[in-house]
């Protein structure tokens, strides 16, 4: 590979070779590098000397010719803390999508919801959200106990139609322990629900999710039986899974 520009090197991930070949065939042809002095490297990003993101995404950016566009996004949009406007945004969000993975990389995505600001900004580098009594599976918390990396996506579907990613490292804390450090946390979040524990997230990345494909929605009022064990009230066997044998 001597003399080949690093920007033209193929990725070295685990995808099958024939799939990568097909992907490359459908991509615009690579432009051969022009002899001459190399472009000056981009200035270091505020989060540190290395660019944010994984080695895998950087390899694919090079392979698919998006490295410069990605570098501009990293430099312009990805921070390691919350801005004042991000804090205001989090303070009015009523739902969030939580992504976790266990030690082996098996993933889970779950929904959390509550009154506006149920995700509490403790400071510009820490947020916390409550965990309540649920189905007892504890999938998200179980993953966090093995792998503290967590991704939070909050989306404003109704007003500004925009999203915010907050990625970081999470710690599961008992309600009393977090409340001892932050006595201002509400005791009753909504309609009698009280947190059993909290997930404290140290912010590593905070960045925008563009509005291009976010649908605008209209909120409606709804009475919900929080904490119920009534099967119908929770949705019951909506997908018919109970009668399907495992495997």
Q: pLDDT digit string (tens) for 165-207?
A: 999 999 999 999 999 999 988 776 666 778 999 999 999 999 9
Q: What are the helix (H) ranges across the chain?
A: 17-25, 55-64, 67-77, 84-90, 139-146, 175-181, 231-234
Q: What pLDDT score does 189 carry?
A: 65
Instruction: Say yes or no: 56 and 94 in one domain.
Output: no
Mean pLDDT value across residues 51-67: 94
Residue 242 lies in a domain: no
Q: Which uninterrupted H or E stretch holds 76?
A: helix 67-77
Q: How many domains does the chain have?
A: 2
The per-residue pLDDT for range 22-35, each reduced to its tens digit, is: 434 444 444 444 44
Structural domain boundaries enclosing 68: 13-77
Top-confidence residue, 229 or 149: 149
Instruction: Say yes or no: 50 and 122 in one domain.
Output: no
Q: What are the helix (H) ranges across 132-217?
A: 139-146, 175-181
Residue 238 lies in a domain: no
Instruction: Give the confidence band of 150 by pLDDT, cuts at 50, 70, 90.
Output: very high
Residue 24 lies in a domain: yes
Supply the CATH number for residue 136's domain.
Answer: 2.30.110.10
Q: Is the pLDDT assigned to residue 5 strictly greater than 80?
A: no
Residue 147 lies in a domain: yes
Residue 211 lies in a domain: yes
- Looking at every residue in the chain, the average pLDDT score rounds to 81
Number of Cβ within 10 Å of residue 131's Cβ equals 17
Q: Is the pLDDT assigned to residue 155 strictly greater than 70?
A: yes
Residue 239 lies in a domain: no
Give the side-chain half-sphere CA count within 13 A for 5: 16
């Amino acid at each position: 590979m001597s003399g080949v520009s690093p920007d033209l090197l193929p990725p070295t991930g685990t995808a099958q070779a024939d799939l990568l070949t097909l992907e490359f065939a459908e991509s615009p042809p690579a432009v051969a590098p022009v002899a001459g002095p190399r472009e000056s490297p981009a200035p270091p990003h505020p989060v540190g000397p290395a660019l944010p993101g994984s080695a895998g995404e950087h390899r694919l950016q090079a392979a698919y010719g998006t490295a410069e566009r990605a570098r501009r996004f990293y430099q312009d949009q990805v921070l390691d803390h919350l801005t004042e406007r991000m804090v205001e945004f989090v303070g009015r969000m009523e739902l969030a999508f939580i992504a976790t993975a266990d030690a082996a990389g098996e993933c889970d995505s779950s929904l959390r919801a509550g009154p506006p600001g149920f995700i509490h900004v403790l400071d510009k580098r820490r947020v916390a959200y409550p965990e309540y009594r649920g189905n007892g599976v504890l999938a998200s918390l179980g993953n966090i106990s093995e792998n503290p990396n967590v991704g939070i996506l909050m989306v404003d579907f109704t007003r500004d139609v925009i999203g915010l990613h907050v990625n970081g490292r999470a710690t599961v804390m008992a309600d009393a322990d977090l409340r001892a450090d932050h006595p201002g946390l509400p005791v009753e979040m909504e309609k009698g629900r009280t947190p059993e524990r909290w997930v404290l997230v140290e912010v590593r990345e905070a960045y925008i999710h563009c509005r291009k494909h976010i649908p605008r929605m209209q909120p409606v009022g709804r009475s919900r039986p929080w904490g119920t064990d009534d099967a119908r009230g929770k949705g019951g066997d909506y997908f018919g899974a109970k009668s399907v044998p495992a495997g």
